[in-house]
Structure 1
Amino acid sequence: RDEKSTEGWQIASLRDVDDSPLPTPGQMLQGLEWMIGEWINEGTDGQVHIAYRWSEDKNFILGDIDVRQEGVVTSKSHQRIGWDPALGKPRSWLFDSDGGFGSGHWTQLEGRWVVHSSAVLPDGANGSAMITLTPLSTDRFSIHGSNRLVGESVEQDFEIIVARKPPAPNN
């Protein structure tokens, strides 16, 4: 508190303020940079194609997820992963081509990322799941879904392994 006396201003307290810039959202998302790239999974149920990239301003990770059955795209989703400074952790938003949408809160635990997600399906039903992403190497990671609920129904767990898509050969 400053008080003016007959001899001028008197300082009642003085504090140092850290004026260094805060880390950017992109810097806070560096722990997820391993996801950047194109990933594929070919299983008996179809093919999953995932592509992650940085946004132009490098403050978000953007993802496109396609599910194909016999070569035909059956589902498309767009994901945006950002930094939530209020929670101090990554947060994501997902939008499906069929009108569904969801969000997730990301937590890093013992070398893997756990996403607590909730969703609204196109018919208005609510859903939730715990999705765990575990890097297996620089070119592979697993996606495990558990505690899955759609409305009042408990859904089965799933797990897929995705591999980094190799670069196209030079012609």
Structure 2
Amino acid sequence: MRWRGVPILAWAILIGSAPLTAADGDPVDLQQIVESSGEKFKKAFANRDPQALAALFTPEAEYVDSSGVVFHGRDAIEAEYIAAFEINRPGTLELELLSIRPVAEGVVVEDGLSTFTPNDPGPSSQMRYTVTHVKQADGSWLMASVRELESPVVTPHDRLLALEWLIGKWRDETDGQVAETEWKWSESGNFLEGAFRIRELDQPVMEGTHRVGWDAQQKQFRSWIFLSSGNFASGLWTTDEDDNWTLQLSGVTTDGASSAALMTYIRDGDDALGVYQSQRTLGGQPLPSRSIRVVRQPPPPAVTGAGQ
């Protein structure tokens, strides 16, 4: 277990370490619980409380640091925390959750990035990590496996995993307008690409593309949208504590007019999405707000051969 220049246990490995009580398969609830759990871990870390930290592991948990040293069992992990607190300086911890993946009933895998900043002058350090959470008989969740990863580099693809739920085909029908959108990964895996088609009675079909990437300067997701009409828009994404996403768009029409809108995306389970358009303007004039419900399209039925 190392931490001179690298935070022990990655300090952020426990973003989901306090007991989880959400339904196993609900991604929104899991995200909220995991983020709340991270705050509880940070509190125990700030208090430099090895016993409280070790209690977040299963009795037979395994921790593997970035150099490959294995610490087996809650007692061994607590002992290492005690030693680490004695020789390492205090500091502050920031946690960035990259993904949560339910992989089996009662088993959730978490990937993230920790940033440790010492209180006294000195550089910050980062560490990527993977944690396996296992549901206990009493309904709580504890960490069964923690692994530090050698490289702290986080790719745009890693960050975009937070929006991976967009992948697939979506459809909405509102006031005689039918919109179909398909999201997929770009060939490089560093962007999400959406292609949409909008059909409306007595109107030409409108097509367009929507690309989402990571803006490393702003430290936010950025969108670029292009319509077949020649209009275009771009904007930055933000998220709130309820895991709702907003996209503040500004654009230009083919006749040179400015446009703007605030898009809010609220997930309703895995297969439905509420989209709310507010603060809409065109050429400086306000437009009414709109709301639509988008549903995920099921995959096409399997095609069987003749006689089967």
TM range (shorter): 0.7 to 0.9
Deviation of 1:44 after TM superposition, in Å, equals 2.8
Query: What CA distance in whole angstroms lies between the structure 1 residues aligned with 2:174 and 2:286?
Result: 23
Between Structure 1 and Structure 2, the one with more helix by share is: 2
Residue number among 116, 122, 127 corresponding to 2:259 in the alignment: 127
Between Structure 1 and Structure 2, the one with more strand by share is: 1
Residue number among 232, 235, 238 corresponding to 1:104 in the alignment: 235
Query: What CA distance in whole angstroms lies between the structure 2 residues aligned with 1:53 and 1:96?
Result: 18
Q: Over the residues paired in the alignment, what is the CA RMSD in angstroms?
A: 2.1
Conserved? CA contact 1:66–1:73, under 8 Å: no
Query: What CA distance in whole angstroms lies between the structure 1 residues aligned with 2:184 and 2:280?
Result: 27
Match of 2:80 in 1: none
1:12-161 matched pairs, under 5 angstroms: 20-70=151-201, 74-109=205-240, 110-161=242-293
Q: Secondary structure at the match of 1:132?
A: strand
Aligned residue pairs: how many? 158
C-alpha distance 84-70 of structure 1, shift in aligned 2 (>3 A): same
C-alpha distance 21-163 of structure 1, shift in aligned 2 (>3 A): same
Match of 1:6 in 2: none
Deviation of 1:20 after TM superposition, in Å, equals 3.0
- Give the counterpart letter for 1:86 in structure 2: Q
Query: What CA distance in whole angstroms lies between the structure 2 residues aligned with 1:132 and 1:52?
Result: 18
Moved segments of 4+, more than 6 Å? 15-19
For structure 1, the 5+ residue unaligned runs are 1-14
Deviation of 1:94 after TM superposition, in Å, equals 0.5
Match of 1:11 in 2: none
- Give the counterpart letter for 1:124 in structure 2: G
Match of 2:64 in 1: none
- Residue-by-residue CA offset, 1:28-51 (whole Å, 9 max, x unaligned): 111101111000012332201011
Deviation of 1:17 after TM superposition, in Å, equals 7.6
Query: What CA distance in whole angstroms lies between the structure 2 residues aligned with 1:45 and 1:57?
Result: 37
- Residue-by-residue CA offset, 1:35-86 (whole Å, 9 max, x unaligned): 1100001233220101110011110000011111249762111011000011
Normalised by the length of structure 1, the TM-score is 0.85
Query: What CA distance in whole angstroms lies between the structure 1 residues aligned with 2:163 and 2:249?
Result: 17
Conserved? CA contact 1:68–1:74, under 8 Å: yes
C-alpha distance 119-111 of structure 1, shift in aligned 2 (>3 A): same
Normalised by the length of structure 2, the TM-score is 0.48
C-alpha distance 71-135 of structure 1, shift in aligned 2 (>3 A): farther
Q: Secondary structure at the match of 1:168?
A: coil
C-alpha distance 26-101 of structure 1, shift in aligned 2 (>3 A): same
Conserved? CA contact 1:134–1:142, under 8 Å: yes
- Give the counterpart letter for 1:74 in structure 2: V
- Residue-by-residue CA offset, 1:65-116 (whole Å, 9 max, x unaligned): 1111249762111011000011111001001101111101000112111001
Deviation of 1:142 after TM superposition, in Å, equals 1.0
Deviation of 1:134 after TM superposition, in Å, equals 0.9
C-alpha distance 16-138 of structure 1, shift in aligned 2 (>3 A): closer
For structure 2, the 5+ residue unaligned runs are 1-122, 127-149, 304-308
